[in-house]
Structure formats: structure tokens, C-alpha cells
Amino acid sequence: MYKTAIYRDDLFLAHDPGPDHPESPKRLRVIYDELDNEDTGSRFIYPQFDPASTDTIELNHSAKLIKQIAATAGKDHAYLDADTRTSADSYAAARLAVGALIDGIQRLDRGEIDNGFCLVRPPGHHAEHDQSMGFCLFNNIAIAARFARKELSMKRIMIIDWDLHHGNGTQHSFYDTDRVLYCSTHQYPYYPGSGSVVQTGNASGEGFTVNVPLPGGQGDPEFARIFNELFAPIAKQYQPDIFLVSCGFDIYDGDPLGAMTVSPAGFSYMTRIMRELAEELCGGRLLITLEGGYNLTGMRDGALAVLSELCGESVAGQGLSKKISTSLRNAAVECSPLEQALSMQKNYWKV
């Protein structure tokens, strides 16, 4: 059994974009309710953690943006763009969400935990340097990666993003550097419109952005092939000091915003691959953070599947069977977008 940290706080439930908004507190509540069950929740560590400081957030965002979001504090409703709304406690929740990832990276660096899952809101991977968008206020994972580089002297960081939507903010944060490798699967063309297969980085970052744009309809076998044949081989060549994962459950079969068909077994499998890669390459350092996901069943079952693999035990019946694991490791289903990505990435990696 692994020492798996879960980052949770009721403040994340207080961020409320409004009753008609898909990024509802209910998304997180269904997971927290499962963790409140002693049989499930007792397997994990629940660290105390603090909000991120302004200086830390400024590692990835402009002072202007931070001031804009801070100005929403205490206001019942505010709009940062047409889709991105705040409530009275949203700024505080956003700072605490960043703080969760910062604390998780530090504990991994000190060897206090084996891995962790930041069950936070608001999500982050769409937030740009000076713009909140796509339900995201601050880019939690990008700030954490910059913190790991600056404060913990980590030389190479690998980010895997399996959210339905492309993480434009994360890609743009590291497009010109080889010190952070960004790999994304996403439905395309779809919001926010970025993430084509030809976007591979710029200057010293060329080859360190890996996009696998998918048309929709892809499920467990297709995602298994992407991880087995593209992400895992690249990771073994890159040799990162830590893995960070933007985990979106909106690729779940039945999510109202997407057209993917991933099951809990698929989430288990991707997590297992990430855990095994982390154990092989960087002392097990793996931190996952919540992004999207708008089907409540998918949120609950997907989170339990991920947690089962992180802690190495079946959680609420969500353990991945050996039969399923073997099947996905040997998946041979046709996946044309993967072939296109492989063709592009052969310019930079042995894949």
C-alpha cells in the first residue's frame, strides 16, 4: 500500500459559479461523500496546507490578473469572461487550490508521501498568464511546475493532461522551454481551439509539446495505446524529476460536454501507467490534480478508480483486474490520430 495524500477542503465547495453552471460544487461533493465513508477514506493521508502566496502565483501569472481576481472576493457574482464566473469565496478557493499542489510537490520532494491527488476547485489548465478562462482562475499545475523548478531545483518536469479540453494555458506557459514537457490528449477541434498535432513547441521548447488531438468516440483501448506507444516511451527518454497530471473526468463515457467513451477501467489503467513510470524514473513522485468532468457518476467512479491505483488497493470495488490491465497493455485498436501524433513526434523522440 502506498502513502497517498488527498488534498481536500470545504472551501473548494464554496466556489460557486451559479446554479446553471456546469462547473458546480456537486462535482466535488460526490467524491468527498465517498471519502467520508470510513472504509474508503481511511486508506489515505489528509495533509494540512495553506493558500499560495501572491509571490508564488506570480511565478506564472501577471500581477494584473491576480489583482483582477482578488477584486472579486466578497462579491456574490462576477464575470472574468463569458464562461468563467466567481462567487464571494472563489479567490480564496483559487489560492488554496494552488497551495494544495505546492504542498503536494514539497511533500513528494521530502519523501513524506508516495503520491497524491489534489481534489480541488476551481480547475486551472485553461488559465493564461494574464487571463482567466474556461472555468479556470489560476493555472494550478503550471504554477506548481514553476515552483518545482525555482524552489526545489527540479530540472525536468513532465505534465500529462488527459482532460477532454486542451490545456491551452499550460501549453503556452512552457511552449518555449525544454524544462517542462507537456503532453495532452483532447477532443479537437473543440474548446479552446488550440492543441493541433503540429503544435510541438518553439525555440528550445521545440519537441517538448506533444498533442494528440482526437475527434471523439475514443475510449479505453485508444487511450491505452496513446499511453503505451507515445507517452511512456517519451517519458523514459525525458527522465523527468516528477510527473504532474491534469486529470479531467470529462472523457468519461456519458459526460455531457464531451464525446469520449472512457470507463473507470480506463482511468485506472492510465493512472497505473503513470504510477509505474514514476516508480521507474523519479522515485515515485506523482501528483494528480482535478480539472474537468461534468457527469456526477463519472466524477465519483473515475476518482475512485484513480485513487485505487494510487494507493495500490481496491477502493470501493474500483480496483483494476489483471485481465483488464493485460488487455489494455496489448490494445491494438485502430487510432488514426495516434498514428499522426507518432509521425510528428518521430522528429523528436524514438517512438
Question: Which domains, ranges and CATH numbers included, belong to the chain?
Answer: 4-345 (3.40.800.20)
Residue type present at position 158: M
Predicted confidence (pLDDT) per residue in 46-76, tens digit: 999 999 999 999 999 999 999 999 999 999 9
Q: Average pLDDT in the 247-255 region?
A: 98
Q: How high is the pLDDT of residue 325?
A: 79
Residues identified as active-site: 126
Q: How high is the pLDDT of residue 320?
A: 62
Angstrom distances, CA of residue 345 to CA of 145, 217, 242, 292: 23, 23, 22, 27
Q: How many other CB atoms sit within 10 Å of the CB of residue 338?
A: 21
Q: How high is the pLDDT of residue 314?
A: 82
How do the residues of the chain divide into helix, strand and coil, expressed in percent and rounded to 5? 40, 15, 45
Q: Is-cis flag, bond preceding 51, omega within 30?
A: no
Predicted confidence (pLDDT) per residue in 204-234, tens digit: 999 999 999 999 999 999 999 999 999 999 9
Q: How high is the pLDDT of residue 59?
A: 98
Q: How high is the pLDDT of residue 321?
A: 66
8 Å CB contact between 139 and 185: no
**Whole-angstrom Cα distance, residue 225 to residue 350?**
16
